[in-house]
């Protein structure tokens, strides 16, 4: 039994992100845009697990991206602090009482989605102190029922913004509830509601304002929703919003392909020979039916590897699929590597991604853990190092 980690391995687990895959995906979506449509890449939540600054760097240097989108003001300020110059839109949240942060955001060309009166008024206060107008995008609820002002009541908020010399109405936005679905009826209803809002408030909006509702799933399948700005999220990272969406796109655009950019890796830290009839791990949930070789991996649910994958999923060792045995622990996972020749401590293990001819897709792990590919990649612990590869 060997139980010492090789000295040349500096991290117990790490994420590699392919810059060429990200660029490929950007080119695919750029090709799908109508002339004059601007592209916003969403890098919220640590860029869907891919690394906030890493994914933003590729986007900014590509020459294909016009905007970056974050969930919070803190994410946006992080990007500004390390030198990113592209316009940034805070899509979801900022605390209206964080006046100093709001002032910094206003002064560094950060725009803000607004959806309630207090935030609008507080932005105006911060803008007055910054001596610079705050750029705002009014969020309209067309049927999502999450964030946003009802499209039938939005005119009063438009007047509030337009009537304040400290604010600049830069855009209006909404969000689809069912863009990933093959059933498009409700999407069409939302699109009609958004169009109705635009027509009824055309005199307040003017002709130069940004209008955006399209997400990754809608860019290809609902070209009428592109307006003059689209928000590209999960597609940038090479993941399909849903199987339905992939099927719909492939039917009309067979050339359209995405390349998953993320590979999640670790190493074997111990090997054990187990006899038949041995139980493995907490709760003794796995019983060996034959002698086997067990590899121990230094990852677990703290790292973001879902506990529901216990006794249920596979990883790659030397390009071969190897089954998890026993329960995924907080920091440890056990794997049957009996069929891998010359396996040794230190061997690289792929938890998510490709290795040789083998692949463990985010969709596979999502199915095994009863969730979606978005959650699989986003929940990878942000403390794990991310590296940009070719």
Rounded Cα gap, residues 28 and 220, in angstroms = 10
C-alpha distance from residue 328 to each of 16, 23, 125, 324, 367 (Å): 22, 35, 50, 8, 17
SS (H, E, C) 288-348: CCCCEEEEEECCCCCCCCCHHHCCCCEEEECCEEEEECCCCCCCCEEEECCCCCCCCCCCE
- The residue from 27, 85, 257, 282 that is catalytic is 282
Would residue 282 show up in a list of annotated catalytic residues for this protein? yes
Cβ count near 229 (within 10 Å): 22
Residue positions counted in the chain: 390
C-alpha 121/C-alpha 224 separation (Å) is 33
Map tokens 């910054």 to a residue. Answer: 130
How many other CB atoms are found less than 10 A from the CB of residue 27? 12
Calculated CA dihedral for residues 34, 39, 41, 42, nearest 10 degrees: -90
CA distances from 339 to 244, 292, 333, 358 (A): 36, 9, 18, 14
CB atoms under 10 Å from CB of 176, counted, come to 23
- Per DSSP, 98 falls in state -
- Tokens 């408030």: give the residue: 201
| Residue from 29, 44, 211, 265 carrying the catalytic annotation | 44
Secondary structure of 149-192 in HEC code, one letter for each residue: EECCCCHHHHHHHHCCCCEEEEEEECCCCCCCCCCCHHHHHHHH
Q: What tokens appear for 372 in the block?
A: 């979606």
Is 305 assigned a catalytic role? no
- What is the set of active-site residues? 44, 282
């Amino acid at each position: 039994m060997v139980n010492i980690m090789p000295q040349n391995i500096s991290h117990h687990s790490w994420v590699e992100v392919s810059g060429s895959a990200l660029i490929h995906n950007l080119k695919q979506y750029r090709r799908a845009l109508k002339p004059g449509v601007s592209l916003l890449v969403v890098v919220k939540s640590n860029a869907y697990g891919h690394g906030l600054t890493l994914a933003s760097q590729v986007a900014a240097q590509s020459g294909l991206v016009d905007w970056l989108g974050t969930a919070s003001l803190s994410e946006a300020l992080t990007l500004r602090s390390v030198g990113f110059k592209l316009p940034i839109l805070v899509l979801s949240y900022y605390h209206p009482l964080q006046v100093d942060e709001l002032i910094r955001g206003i002064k560094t060309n950060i725009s803000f989605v607004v959806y309630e009166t207090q935030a609008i008024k507080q932005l105006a206060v911060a803008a007055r102190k910054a001596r610079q107008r705050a750029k705002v995008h009014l969020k309209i609820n067309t049927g999502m029922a999450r964030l946003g002002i009802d499209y039938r009541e939005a005119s009063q908020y438009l007047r509030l913004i337009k009537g304040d010399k400290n604010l600049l109405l830069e855009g209006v936005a909404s969000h689809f509830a069912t863009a990933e679905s093959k059933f498009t009826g409700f999407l069409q209803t939302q699109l009609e509601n958004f169009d109705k809002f635009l027509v009824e408030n055309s005199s307040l909006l003017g002709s130069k304002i940004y209008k955006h509702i399209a997400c990754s799933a809608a860019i290809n399948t609902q070209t009428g929703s592109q307006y003059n700005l689209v928000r590209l999220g999960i597609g940038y990272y090479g993941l399909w919003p849903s199987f339905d969406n992939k099927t719909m796109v492939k039917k009309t655009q067979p050339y359209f392909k995405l390349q998953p950019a993320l590979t999640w890796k670790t190493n074997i830290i111990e090997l054990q020979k187990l006899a038949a009839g041995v139980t493995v791990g907490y709760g003794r949930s796995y019983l060996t039916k034959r002698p086997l070789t067990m590899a121990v991996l230094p990852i677990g649910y703290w790292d973001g590897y879902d506990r529901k994958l216990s006794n249920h999923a596979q990883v790659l060792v030397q390009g071969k699929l190897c089954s998890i045995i026993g329960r995924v622990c907080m920091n440890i996972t056990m794997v049957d590597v009996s069929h891998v020749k010359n396996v040794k401590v230190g061997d690289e293990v792929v938890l998510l991604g490709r290795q040789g001819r083998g692949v463990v897709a985010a969709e596979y792990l999502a199915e095994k853990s009863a969730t979606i590919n978005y959650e699989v990649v986003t929940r990878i612990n942000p403390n794990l190092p991310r590296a940009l590869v070719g």
